[in-house]
Amino acid sequence: AQSVTQPDIHITVSEGASLELRCNYSYGATPYLFWYVQSPGQGLQLLLKYFSGDTLVQGIKGFEAEFKRSQSSFNLRKPSVHWSDAAEYFCAVVGSNDYKLSFGAGTTVTVRA
Amino acid sequence: SQTIHQWPATLVQPVGSPLSLECTVEGTSNPNLYWYRQAAGRGLQLLFYSVGIGQISSEVPQNLSASRPQDRQFILSSKKLLLSDSGFYLCAWSIGVSNQPQHFGDGTRLSIL
């Protein structure tokens, strides 16, 4: 079965600084990977997804993520953080021919002025 | 376009009372449907999923149940709520398997007194 680890529980970053959120997955074959964002009291919004092809994927809100098979990682990045990026971020993985996403525990991002 | 609706948005119930949360999806046919629970400060736990009318898979043994009486309707129920049932409940839908992302509703905040 697949699993996801997000090593950082909480990250604080200054507005305008760069952001990188780590995600490591465990799966025997090529996984399908997703990043979601959740604002307080809201549902999850899909930021981006990776299925195959180019290992650098672009998403909404200026986010991008890079799939590195050798490191079993799918880290999320943003060059310049805005105060509105304060939220909780979840990495998720699903195996081929599966219906069920496995989520990481999430990383809470705080943006300071 | 597809939309997902969950209600109610918030609910306060006494211990031992019944529960019914409803989720409907519009703009698509034969979606996969999911119920998740998110406890405070924790990740998402998949409770149930359904790939068709009347087909329910349970992921975690508990006093909750799910039903899918119509193609685009998914209901989460309990006969007697426990304090431990408190949390944020999220419904989601997807199409097909694996490489299609799940799309989430806005959630129901359930507080048990």
Mean pLDDT of chain A: 93
At A27 the pLDDT is 86
Residue A28 clears pLDDT 80, i.e. is over it: no
Residues in chain B within 8 Å Cβ distance of A41: 88, 107, 109
Read off the pLDDT of residues B25-46 as tens digits, 9 standing for 90 and up: 999 999 999 999 998 767 899 9
Task: Report CA torsion sign: B14, B20, B25, B30.
Answer: positive
CA distance A92 to chain B (A): 10
Read off the pLDDT of residues A61-108 as tens digits, 9 standing for 90 and up: 999 999 999 999 999 999 999 999 999 999 999 887 788 889 999 999
At B41 the pLDDT is 66
Percent of the residues in chain A that have a pLDDT greater than 90, as a whole number: 78
Q: CB–CB of A42 and B99 under 8 A?
A: no
Task: Report CA torsion sign: B113, B49, B22, B9.
Answer: positive
Select from A32, A90, A94 the Cβ nearest to the Cβ of B43: A90
Select from A32, A104, A106 the Cβ nearest to the Cβ of B98: A32
A34 vs B: CB within 8 A: yes
Q: CB–CB of A99 and B94 under 8 A?
A: yes
Residues in chain B within 8 Å Cβ distance of A9: none
A70 vs B: CB within 8 A: no
